[in-house]
Structure 1
Amino acid sequence: MLTPTATLTLPEGIRGAADPRFAAPVRAFARLFTHYVRTGGALSVHLRGEPVVRVWTGTADAAGDIPWEADTTALTFSTTKGITSLVVHRLADRGLLDYDAPVAEYWPEFAAGGKHSITVRDVLAHRAGLSDLRRVVRAPGDVLDHLLMEQRLAAATPDWTRGLPVYHAVTFGWLLGGLCRAVTGQSMAELYRTELADPLGITGLHLGRPSDGTPVADLVGPSLNATGSRLGKPITLAAVRVPLVGKAISSMHFTGGEEAMRGPIPELSYSENGAATGVFTADAIASVYATLANDGSCGDTRLLSSRTTRALIRSTNTSPDPNRLTFWHLGYHPFPTVGAPRGLGHMGLGGSGGWADPDSGLSVGFVHNRLDLARLPIDMTLMSLLLPTVTRAASTAGRAESATRAA
């Protein structure tokens, strides 16, 4: 769709290309980065599996000297979970996994600690009772060793939150990594390539910082180091003692953990964790999410059957177990917006995200490189601010197409 004769004249400072019908989201993206974000980032929109917006702006390094390019990737934190979940669904679609089978059926070591009844669906829905990092991390460097963490989770005993939807912010990746390794013999990083990137013919989709020369944006901002400061540490430790609040904090924080997040190139980014260390371009995210928006296909490539795709986009209240409510349905959370009440996807720390609307065939990828604790509450809304402009543009384009056909 992005042909040289049908592209938009972009606002100053914005590079890339866009269908003129999607001028509004491009202008909104430009305003966000000109007036607020002021680092670097990218937005990609696909309609029915074809790109209609691919734009980027700003700089990719902490000093502000290296321009963001079309192939610049960014550490996306929990945006990773949506991509990892699609790997699981690819395996389920081929009959290698059953959502309602116990994880231990595929990964026998996981039955230890009374976990024999925890199902694949439980893990995808954050109901495994294994969210607390303090129960499996014994030294700060442990979180950088995904094989060690998979082993410790296999041996762990669930806590009192078993069966409740408590966000497994970090352990989600190791749990699914261990499961998929047991089924395929491959690491999750390898499965990103064989199950997603290669079939779709895309680049810019990595689990962990790539070593092939792919440009990766620095993190810009004071990051989250305040949690380990003289003021922040006692506050964090006190909050962990509050039952529900504490579980939310302990799913992401442990003593000394802020060191792995320190600096423009955090050590964490070199590790393999399917919950948090995805390094993506915006366009790679939009390409993967196009499969959820288009009945399992992206362009001419089918990744999932229609039956599996329909199961993924079904409302959570149709789960086989209605008494166990969950915010996450098979790895994704609801992401409704104006004109797209059935939108779904996954947000990441700092505000990156992937999104799909199965009604319009829209998919969106958004990344940027600012991570600033003081601005985090607002940054987490950035994609939500962009999505209404995307859906309105698609609706207008659809009406115009209908009128043309009628004429």
Structure 2
Amino acid sequence: MMNKRFPVVLVGVLVSILAQAATYYGFKIGGVSVNSDNYQNVTGGGIDSGTVTYNPDTKVVTLTNVSIKRTGSNNRAIYNESCPNLRVRLVGNCNLVALDAAPVRAEQSTALDAIGDARVSIAGKNEDAIYIAGNCYVMLSGDRGSSFEIVATNSRAIACESEKAGVVYFEPGITATINGSKGCIVGVPKVLFSSYLENPLEMKLVGNSGGYKVVSGVTSWSKGQNEMVSPSNVSFDASAGTLVQNGSPVTSETVRITYAIPIQADYFPDANLRKYLLAQNYGKDGFIESSEIVNLKNLMVYGRNIASLTGVKYLKNLESIYAYSNNITSLTIGLDSLKTLSVANNGMTMLDVGGCSKLESLYVRNNQLATLHLSSVPTLKSVDLSENPS
């Protein structure tokens, strides 16, 4: 007897649930992959406190009062794996710590931006604190009043993968202390600085006693026109790729880089004005640093045979200038902070104070002013124009 096989048709409903996978944005915070599911509130992993949010349209991730502590190899606080031009906004007190891995690893260009009065600490042990692992840049920037502290124990503070064309930028506004027990900036081909008076750069590269160079393996060390390096006998040796002092690589010395105005003829053309500035405590080193400019409120230069006040525009926080009994025949001044200007007894024929929006007291007695327009200075409370041509 033959066995016959009959086709069996199963009639049913096949339900297929296709769950779309979340889109990975190319970076991790505290070991957590930031993606389309969690980008509005990134939690878990090594994020102990604070908030992390991301805007995929602008490629800006914001860390507010974040504390991250990671331990073990490859466990990083910030890891930019494949997100070009990622901007990390750091708000409030942010502490990024990793043991046995770089707290910050950049395989794509990454900007670390301290907002407002943010205090940012990046600390690594046994690995570099900031590691540039590719042909990209890491930028440190911030608002005036913000600060970075970058510390590496048993390693380098900022370093670059061997033979890669990495760049580190230090942008205006930041105050940074960089301390690596095996060097501060190592193997980064290009180092760039940028600063200006309204938002100056203040940076310390802390040398250590272990004999490691503070800076090494750097091809290009580019600082702006008004950045001052101290001690003054420290300079960059391009052939050696390091900072040198008296011909030897800097190791244990702490190097400061800050914005400063040189007391030179290019900035202050009048020799007698320069003589006065160089005699002051803030000018004895030949520069007026940004911190000194902030605190310089009064300029007392009366009776010194000064013929020109050109250059006082750099002293942005001046509230009073007493320059009477000199030889200043022409003066155009525009300082937003200035409240008192005394330029009596100068033989002055031209005066323009239109740029002094807070000026309250003006003393121009005994000059040769035929006209003086003050309509643009509504804040004036006291004016002495006596003994000028009517």
With the shorter chain as reference, the TM-score category is under 0.3
- Name the larger-Rg structure: 2
Relative to its length, the structure with more strand (as a share) is 2
Greater relative CO, 1 or 2 (CA 8 Å, sep 6+) = 1
Relative to its length, the structure with more helix (as a share) is 1
TM-score w.r.t. length of structure 2: 0.24
